Amino acid sequence: MKPTTRVAIQGIKASFHEEAAFKFFGKDIETIECNSFKQTCDRLVKDEADFVIMAIENSIAGSLLPNYTLIREYNFSVTGEVYLPIQLHLMALPGVKFEDIKFATSHPIAIRQCVDFFDDYPHIQVIESNDTAACAKKIRDEQLTDTVAIANTLAAELYGLNIIERRIESNKKNYTRFLILEKEKKESPKEINKASICFQVGNHVGALSKVLNLFAELNVNLTKIQSMPVLGKRNEYYFYVDMEWTNLENYDTAIRKALKYTVNFNIIGEYPKNDKV
């Protein structure tokens, strides 16, 4: 009998992280609930999980910068990605009407994605919490009749809440990109056409452009560049770059050439592109 895949998520069951895990792995998985992204990493290190699924960027809120640092410091390998449309609903206990609502609670990023909605209802006090699904669970556990959660359909179903207002996110094309992390790099799948790398360059004119031009010359498309300061070092940065290619040989050549002009170069992961929302 094949063992169940264990996936560590930040948050609890029915959170967006679990929804993303279902989308990538299917529903036949064991979800390992964690209070923080660091805790997901610790569970993977201790072999208490087979994978971590970690949000890395949102189309409205931007990059989750601390997560780049975690991936680098734990030296995990990125072995996949998944994009999840973020659809946010207001949910309450059965029987609660919209006019009964005094409080709305959710994760700060989810709240930020619904500011236009709450601008129209200034009497509703918005309260930040650490997890969307946990807010839904709290309403059920404490039978709160004056509070709504902002969460996904999965949370409403699992915690027995009614959706009283659908799709309250400001941007209906809102999505989050999640990375699939493993403790050690397995053999790369044959169909790899995307990679995530990290490096530093010298602090002089043209240092970064020299590296980026190498990829352009070999027709390797850079889809994202993210800089992060090196802790305690002035004017030193890590550059995190995602790239795609159609010719694997070109990518290999570009990487070899880039090594000459960079320091602390690290291929964080090579994996199949998976950008369907």
Encode pLDDT of 124-171 as tens digits. Answer: 999 999 899 999 999 999 999 999 999 999 999 999 999 999 999 999
Over range 182-186, report the average pLDDT.
83
- Mean pLDDT across the chain, nearest whole number? 94
pLDDT at 187: 65
Residue corresponding to tokens 């994978």: 51
Angle separating helix axes 248-258 and 207-217, nearest 10 degrees: 160
Q: Is the CB of residue 231 less than 8 Å from the CB of residue 175?
A: no
Backbone region of residue 221 per phi and psi (left: phi > 0; alpha: psi in -120 to 50; beta: other values): beta
Nearest to 135 by CA among 79, 89, 201, 197: 89
Q: Is the CB of residue 228 less than 8 Å from the CB of residue 240?
A: yes
Side-chain-side CA neighbours of 148 within 13 Å: the count stands at: 28
In b/e form, how buried is each residue of 162-187, taking b as 16+ CB within 10 angstroms? Answer: ebbbeebbeeeebbbbbbbbbbeeee
User: In CATH, what number does 194-271 get?
Assistant: 3.30.70.260
Tell me the CATH class for 89-165: alpha beta
How far are the Cα atoms of 15, 110, 164, 192, 197 from residue 247, in angstroms, in the given order?
Answer: 37, 39, 50, 10, 18
Backbone Cα Rg of the chain: 21
Nearest to 133 by CA among 40, 41, 20: 20
Q: Looking at the chain, which residues constitute the CATH 3.40.190.10 domain(s)?
A: 5-86+174-182, 89-165
- In this structure, the number of other CB atoms found within 10 A of the CB of residue 126 comes to 15
Q: Looking at the chain, which residues constitute the CATH 3.30.70.260 domain(s)?
A: 194-271
Kindly report, residue by residue over 60-101, the tens digit of the pLDDT. Answer: 888 999 999 999 999 999 999 999 999 999 999 999 999 999
Selecting from 3.20.20.70, 1.10.3720.10, 3.40.190.10, 1.10.760.10, what CATH number does the domain 5-86+174-182 have? 3.40.190.10
Judged by average pLDDT, the poorest of 67-71, 197-201, 231-235 is 231-235
Helices (H), ranges, the chain: 16-25, 37-45, 65-74, 108-112, 115-119, 132-142, 153-158, 207-217, 248-258
